[in-house]
Amino acid sequence: MRRGIASGDGESGTLQHFNFSFPTKESAEKVGLIQIECYLNIPATELNNRTPYEDVVRNKSATNFFNTFPVIKEAPLFEYYQQILSLSEKEFAYKSVYSKTGGVLNIFNLQIRESMDSELKTLFSRCEEEKEAIRLWKDRPSELWSNLPPKLVWAGGGKIERELILDFSQYLTRMVRRKEFDTRGDALITAIQHLRVWQFQPNEICSGMAPINAIIKEREEIYKRKSAFFKENHIECDFV
């Protein structure tokens, strides 16, 4: 297990740090990316109750967002913010889902590529029009992302999932403390097994709901909000 450090931006803009153990370097880094992905979906008063994501899409640039929260420029994860917020036309195409983290439920997944998406391949071959294939595909639970449909992977998580990722990181760190693993596979499998137990345990962060249900519920709300925003701004998007 690798020890890592991640930071999250608190409501007030201060940084919180925590230590954790994760099975691979990739998954430890993903914690930071998931936190940012979630943070970008949380409305901010400084942005007139828009989410950072909406602000960046509306302004076609992240400048206003970074100027509003200058502390982020100093954050160790600033590079990741820039990476995620370099939203181009690609963000609105179905392919953008493969650049998303998939959130806490998919923290141990490797990078998912379109070539791995057999469901999409099948639909492309069955449907006459590509648009129709994408319309069907985006709603179907996918085994590439722990049974989340692509549209919810694209939408991303929010406030609750951002807290849950910290909760899971601490849970996993407690569970694997002082354990040694012979292989990368062994370490990954153990971590994923803990994730699958954790996701069903009632959790105070989500008012006693199981994290899996809370995550889906929150992502559905974020998806609805994003859909409404895209329609309002006449932006064409494969996911809406």
The binding site for another protein (CB under 8 A) comprises: 23-24, 105, 110, 116, 141, 143-144, 146-147, 183-189, 192-193, 196-197, 199-200
Instruction: Tell me how far, at minimum, the Cβ of 112 lies from another protein, in Å.
Output: 9
DSSP labels, 112-175: --GGG-HHHHHHHHH-SSHHHHHHHHTTS--GGGTT--HHHHHH---HHHHHHHHHHHHHHHHH
The whole-angstrom separation of Cα 199 and Cα 14 is 28
Six-digit token string for 76: 């160790």
Least distance in Å: CB of 113 to another protein? 10
Residue nearer to another protein on the CB measure, 34 or 187:
187
Q: Which of 163, 155, 171 is nearest to 207 (CA)?
A: 163
By C-beta, is 66 or 137 nearer to another protein?
A: 137
Q: How far is the CB of 6 from another protein (least distance, A)?
A: 21
CB 181 → another protein: shortest distance, Å?
A: 10
* Residue placing its CB nearer to another protein in the complex, 69 or 171: 171
Nearer to another protein, 29 or 240 (CB): 29
**What distance in Å separates the CA atoms of residue 156 and residue 97, rounded to the nearest whole number?**
10
Question: Is 57:227 a contact under the CB 8 Å cutoff?
Answer: no
H/E element, 5: strand 2-9
Looking at the Cβ atoms of 27 and 41, the one nearer to another protein is 27
Shortest distance (Å) from residue 157 CB to another protein: 15
